[in-house]
Structure 1
Amino acid sequence: MRILFSSTPAHGHLLPLLPLARAFRDRGDQVAVLTAGAFAPLLDAEGIELVAAGPTADVLFAESGRRTGVDAAADPRPEAVADFFAGTRVDLTADDAVAAARAFAPDLVVAEALDFVGPLVAAALDVPHATMAFGPAIPAEFTDGMHALVASRYADRGLAAVPARWYLDPCPDLLQPPGWQAPANRVQVRPEPHQGPNAPGAGSENGSEAVSEAVSEAVSEAVSEDTNATRGERPRVLVTFGTHFSDPATLTPILAELRTVGVDLVVTLGLTATAADYALPGEDAAGTNAAGDITFAPFTPLADLLQDVDFVVTHGGAGTTLGVLSRGLPLVVVPQGADQFLQAAVVGATGTGIAVQPGPDVPETVAKAAVTLRTDPSYAEAAAKVAAEIATIPTPSEVATRLAEALPEPARS
């Protein structure tokens, strides 16, 4: 089988696709990813082909902002989000994508939930496609506008939109919004925190078994009577605001307040920042921390960062949120834009963590939330329940086999 994954050119959209892409690859299928050429190094390391089409996210945001007057990342109002994903990106990517995909000749296109190029490509090539969610269901106030806007792009090319054959869903029922009803074509697929390409068992059944064992341990620890004692006197806290939202101007005040509540911090730097960019008391010009309570990490797979941490302070990207909860860890979510407010609401509603909304007192509120997570075991217990449900969801390997067996055997010339 030839499986083409399609993604908006952003790590938060692409990385959640990789476990299923690896699973198809490990079955012996030919796998490629349709996205901007800038992701070639990441995909080369995976041994996955890149089908390059369209500009990078910064170009798309600039053009969408020119069209709408709104930064869709920082101000995710429905009309701006619709233009970015279903207007600007399709206009600047679709035709090149169809030509490139035609050369690859896929038997199935798997598009992440906010990718509108992949489904159009599938319609043009007359092949089935699947939609892969990356978090809780996106509200209709956003999706309705996107589908309405992209309809004209199909019409301009003499195409008709075709419903997805499968809705691949990594989000457990416990995290779906109230009143949500699963679509008839839903196929659940277990979410995983991003792993490096050389991680033992990455994308394999053995890897899934190892994760299940880790989840079982997390559940046992969370419901034990001496949870606080188990965590130790100084909890270890991961602070990660993803690849694009880790602005030192935003994070530095938060880190300064967290240092006052007796925790050790592991802080991710995103794609461009350095440790020296965080001007914290006790650091020299190179960003060296004399107190030893902060460790800065460059871009690192989330699975590695989650080892030996007690909880996570994050912007609330969907992949990060599901990855953290799959390991039974509670969160403090500080949304910055995009869909992060949806994740923050879900985390707050389910008691798996604390949502901190924008405002002048964010650093102090985050520090107080960290103290609460340290002292109140109910958050860890709720996170462990979510992790236990995630552990029952079919693995990417199982889902890849199910999808492949449902497709007709391709006829190759």
Structure 2
Amino acid sequence: MATLINMRILFSSVPQHGHLLPLFPLARAFRERGHEVAVLTAAGMAPVIAAQGLGHLPAGPLPDVLFAEVARRTGADPAHAPTPDSVAEFFAGTRIDLTADEALAVAADFRPDLVVAEACDFVGPLVAAAMGAPVATLAFGPPMPPVFTDAMEAQARKRHDARGVAWEPRKWLLDTWPASMRADGWEELEGWSPLRPEAFREPGAKSVALPISERARVLVTFGTFFGDPAKLSPLLRELSTVDADVVVTLGLLSKAEEFEVDHERVTFVGFTPMEDLLDGVDVVVTHGGAGTTSAALMKGVPLVVLPQGADQFFQAERVAAAQVGIALDPPSQTPQALADAVRTVLADVHIRENVTSVAKEIAAMPDAHEVAATLEARL
């Protein structure tokens, strides 16, 4: 669909798959509507962005450098032991300090008319404020508790003040989380717009064909960061006793041979778009990453969530509260507890009815092209 005015839309993200991938459907929609689109994130994410056919403005280091600097400054581990202070230091302190100069330099020629920043990105809003562009925040997963968001905003404000850049509130909130799965007391904020989530895909990529089976299928995916073979192997060995086919996604660094399991009972696949993996799946076992959780809900697949860190405990709590799956918090993440939870979910009609209802709710949310058109009108 053609538009009257070609605009420059800058998408900005923490350089990690779980943060970056949810931006792509809206980025593609703006590009397809005739706008110039670029993604602002670390150079190490270039292959992921190139596969989407999007422009890239590289700035700042990858998470390993950021985590090391946070540990040097504070001794904290925001990935595995998140606290408001450590999370704020990572996203709105250290990341701005190590990224802002380069981000402002590479964005100077682009001059965005709109910045779309994922909820944990504070570099994009700094660039937007410096260049007089409005900001739309793209949120994935349930809202973070105010104790976290307030701490991040306080750190970001300090960085704005230090650079003489006025703090500008984010103008619009694009929310991919289904309203029925929100906590009690949630209120719709001014500028709030729902946005239908999409399972990650790569345009033009060949689909993965998994073996056809008459048994139930369990998909185990702990994302790109939390899939430690030493931790997962005992869980997978017990899970393979369930009367189901078990398919496991590999993280970016792990290999199938590193897992001590019966490889005739467990099938491993490399990093694969969720869109290709969920068809025919009866239960998703996951760490509770926002993208994985949303993709399963969108497909109407119930979950067993074993949160490991970061924001995964928020997703796990909402999954359990909405009765669309089972959450196992530490120290309940034992192999036997996992196998029992999967058997329960496979047999529980009530859970399946609930997740089917949520899937219908998600399908009715405005898609990326509708939201892009709304933003065009507002601009």
Structure 2 gap segments, 5+ residues each = 1-6, 207-212
Matched residue, 1:298: 270
2:117 & 2:195 partners in 1: Cα distance? 14
**Counterpart among 85, 90, 110 of residue 79 in structure 1:** 85
User: 3-state SS of the aligned residue for 1:33?
Assistant: strand
Matched residue, 2:121: 115
What's the TM-score, normalizing by structure 1?
0.87
1:1-400 equivalences under 5 Å are 1-198=7-204, 234-280=215-261, 282=262, 289=263, 291=264, 293-359=265-331, 362-400=334-372
1:129 & 1:182 partners in 2: Cα distance? 18
1:233 & 1:36 partners in 2: Cα distance? 44
What's the TM-score, normalizing by structure 2?
0.95
Cα shift at 1:190? 0.2
Conserved? CA contact 2:225–2:252, under 8 Å: yes
Matched residue, 2:209: none
**Which aligned segments of 4 or more residues in structure 1 are displaced greater than 6 angstroms?**
none
2:138 & 2:324 partners in 1: Cα distance? 24
Structure 2 counterpart of 1:297, one-letter code = V
Structure 2 counterpart of 1:235, one-letter code = A
1:268 & 1:166 partners in 2: Cα distance? 35
Instruction: Deviation per CA, 1:170-224: give whole Å up to 9, x if none.
Output: 1111111221111111011100111122269xxxxxxxxxxxxxxxxxxxxxxxx
1:179 & 1:234 partners in 2: Cα distance? 41
1:199 & 1:29 partners in 2: Cα distance? 24
Instruction: Deviation per CA, 1:37-87: give whole Å up to 9, x if none.
Output: 011111111110110000001100110111111111000111100100010
Cα shift at 1:360? 6.3
Inter-CA distance 107–90: structure 2 relative to 1 (3 Å threshold): same
Structure 1 counterpart of 2:76, one-letter code = V
2:233 & 2:32 partners in 1: Cα distance? 42
Structure 1 counterpart of 2:134, one-letter code = P
Which deviates further from its counterpart, 345-354 or 233-242?
233-242
1:364 & 1:311 partners in 2: Cα distance? 16
Cα shift at 1:234? 2.4
Cα shift at 1:269? 0.5
Matched residue, 1:218: none
Structure 2 counterpart of 1:366, one-letter code = L
Structure 1 gap segments, 5+ residues each = 201-231, 283-288, 408-413
Structure 2 counterpart of 1:164, one-letter code = R
Inter-CA distance 22–199: structure 2 relative to 1 (3 Å threshold): farther
User: 3-state SS of the aligned residue for 1:103?
Assistant: coil
Cα shift at 1:311? 1.2
1:179 & 1:361 partners in 2: Cα distance? 30
Structure 2 counterpart of 1:248, one-letter code = P
Aligned residues: percent identity? 55
2:52 & 2:198 partners in 1: Cα distance? 16
Structure 1 counterpart of 2:56, one-letter code = L
Identify which of structures 1 and 2 has the higher relative contact order when contacts are C-alpha pairs closer than 8 Å and 6+ apart: 1
2:72 & 2:347 partners in 1: Cα distance? 48
Q: Give aligned pairs, total.
A: 368
2:184 & 2:224 partners in 1: Cα distance? 30
Cα shift at 1:405? 2.4
